[in-house]
């Protein structure tokens, strides 16, 4: 049962990292350092709760926040910042999920594909949702979207760490958001075909 809870916990943390990568990592590291719900100590992933690693994540929060405020909203999904965030989210999601499992079992390797899948789902769902919302807001209101994304990521990570079974509902919700966005996109184009 502990192994299943660790799998769910890792999946939920990785999904949260996909939404926004750095604050969920900081939260997981802080909770692990205090041994609250998660612990990376005496595992191959003990660096995830080390002060140096957490300071590096804090620096990345500041750097990406500064870059995000400076740039104009990018429509391109292939911008260097989006690609960098995706790569970081995938790597951090895989490490956090594997670390969560390594806390209870030496068989931590399933955390790598699970973390990659969770982070990819969180990233795709967040990009889809916030992209649709951004298109409907004025520029001033768009500035608040990163705050909402960070809040959603922290909440998802916190709930997944403290109540691992909730990760199932959180991941299902992200999948529903992503699929709902794709369905709405298809309906938009279907309406355009009818007008011809």
The CA distance from 167 to 95, in Å, is 17
> By mean pLDDT, which of 13-17, 45-49, 78-82 is the weakest?
78-82
The first and second tokens of residue 80, run together, are: 């260097």
For every residue of 36-86, DSSP letters joined together read SS---TTSTTGGGGSHHHHHHHHHHHHHHHHHHHHSPPP--TT-HHHHHHH
* Domain locations along the chain: 2-195
Placement of tokens 């969180």 in the chain: 122
User: What pLDDT is stored for residue 75 in this prediction?
Assistant: 46
pLDDT, tens digit, 9 for 90 and up, residues 45-65: 999 999 999 999 999 999 988
Helix (H) or strand (E) holding 10: helix 2-19
Residue 113 in this model has a pLDDT that exceeds 70: yes
User: What pLDDT is stored for residue 70 in this prediction?
Assistant: 73
User: What pLDDT is stored for residue 185 in this prediction?
Assistant: 62
Residue 190 in this model has a pLDDT that exceeds 60: no
Question: Average pLDDT of 149-163?
Answer: 96
User: What pLDDT is stored for residue 186 in this prediction?
Assistant: 57
């Amino acid at each position: 049962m502990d192994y299943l809870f660790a799998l769910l916990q890792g999946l939920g943390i990785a999904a949260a990292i996909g939404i926004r990568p750095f604050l969920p990592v900081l939260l997981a590291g802080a909770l692990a350092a205090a041994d609250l719900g998660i612990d990376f100590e005496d595992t191959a992933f003990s660096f995830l709760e080390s002060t140096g690693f957490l300071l590096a994540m804090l620096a990345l929060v500041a750097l990406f926040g500064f870059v995000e405020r400076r740039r104009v909203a990018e429509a391109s999904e292939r911008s260097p910042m989006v690609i960098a965030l995706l790569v970081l989210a995938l790597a951090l999601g895989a490490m956090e999920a594997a670390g969560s499992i390594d806390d209870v079992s030496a068989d931590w390797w399933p955390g790598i594909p699970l973390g990659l899948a969770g982070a990819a789902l969180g990233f795709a769902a967040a990009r889809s949702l916030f992209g649709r919302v951004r298109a409907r807001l004025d520029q001033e209101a768009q500035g608040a979207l990163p705050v909402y994304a960070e809040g959603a990521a922290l909440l998802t990570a916190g709930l997944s760490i403290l109540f691992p079974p909730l990760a199932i509902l959180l991941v299902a919700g992200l999948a529903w958001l992503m699929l709902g966005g794709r369905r709405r996109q298809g309906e938009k184009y279907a309406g355009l075909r009818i007008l011809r």
